[in-house]
A and B are shown apart, each in its own frame.
Chain A
Amino acid sequence: AQTVTQSQPEMSVQEAETVTLSCTYDTSESDYYLFWYKQPPSRQMILVIRQEAYKQQNATENRFSVNFQKAAKSFSLKISDSQLGDAAMYFCAYRSARSRGATNKLIFGTGTLLAVQP
């Protein structure tokens, strides 16, 4: 079974600085997707960024980028120029890329609570 591990329960960053959130996963599959979701105090789950395992290039979305190391099964999230609105719980998630009809549910890590200091 696949597992996702986030070893940092809490992180803190100064506004305008850069922070990196860590995530490792375990799988025997070769084709899958990885995601970072943001959960602000409203508790809505918001997709931040996604990475396809077959792509070597790291995904980037504005101030958010990932460092995907497939061999090491590592998927970290870098937030540049941190803003107060980035304060939230961040969840790393895995999803299999099995064929159509398969469940391909999301498997979440335990989350990292990010605080942004003004």
Chain B
Amino acid sequence: EPEVTQTPSHQVTQMGQEVILRCVPISNHLYFYWYRQILGQKVEFLVSFYNNEISEKSEIFDDQFSVERPDGSNFTLKIRSTKLEDSAMYFCASRTGEAFFGQGTRLTVV
């Protein structure tokens, strides 16, 4: 069964460092998303990507964040200068009909 794959599963980074979270969506899906879940809180929408461009972004998705789909298969989320409050679980999802989620990347900023 096709699945969304995220790497790494866990990343620890120093405050101020750049991180790139990687996702391989399901190949024939058209819409791609990043969501964030701070520990113990609800899942929040960050950004959606369709037709090779951002289609919507939330207030959380400020200038520190960027997304790319560099090669038609990978879908990346970059955080340029991480802050302590960026520590969270980051989920990638893709869909044509139903949304399928990756297993998440746990980002810890120290």
A residues with a Cβ closer than 8 A to B are 42-47, 50, 91, 95, 101-111
- The residues of A that contact B55 with a CB separation of less than 8 Å are 101-103
Cross-chain contact of A104 among B31, B51, B100 (Cβ < 8 A): B31
User: Per-residue CB proximity of B31-53 to A under 8 Å, as 1/0?
Assistant: 10101010001111100101100
B residues with a Cβ closer than 8 A to A are 31, 33, 35, 37, 41-45, 48, 50-51, 55-56, 89, 91, 93, 98-101, 103-104, 106
In contact, A105 and B48 (Cβ under 8 angstroms): yes
Per the bound structure, the CA–CA distance linking A108 and B58 in Å amounts to 14
- The residues of B that contact A91 with a CB separation of less than 8 Å are 42-43
Q: Chain B nearest CB: distance from A13 CB in Å?
A: 21
- The residues of A that contact B106 with a CB separation of less than 8 Å are 43
Q: Chain A nearest CB: distance from B6 CB in Å?
A: 10
**Interface of chain A, helix or strand or loop or mixed?**
loop
Cross-chain contact of A109 among B31, B42, B48 (Cβ < 8 A): B42
- The residues of A that contact B101 with a CB separation of less than 8 Å are 44-46
In contact, B45 and A105 (Cβ under 8 angstroms): yes
**Interface of chain B, helix or strand or loop or mixed?**
strand
In contact, A105 and B42 (Cβ under 8 angstroms): no
Check A106/B45 contact, CB under 8 A, given A42-B103, A44-B103: yes
Q: Chain A nearest CB: distance from B44 CB in Å?
A: 8
In contact, B48 and A45 (Cβ under 8 angstroms): no
Which of A101, A102, A104, A109 is packed against the most chain B CB atoms within 10 Å? Answer: A104
Check A107/B98 contact, CB under 8 A, given A42-B103, A43-B104: no
Cross-chain contact of A103 among B37, B44, B48 (Cβ < 8 A): B48
Per the bound structure, the CA–CA distance linking A108 and B37 in Å amounts to 11
Per the bound structure, the CA–CA distance linking A50 and B99 in Å amounts to 11
Per the bound structure, the CA–CA distance linking A102 and B33 in Å amounts to 12
Q: Chain B nearest CB: distance from A64 CB in Å?
A: 15
In contact, A111 and B50 (Cβ under 8 angstroms): no
Cross-chain contact of A105 among B33, B91, B98, B103 (Cβ < 8 A): B33
Residue of A nearest to B55 (CB): A103
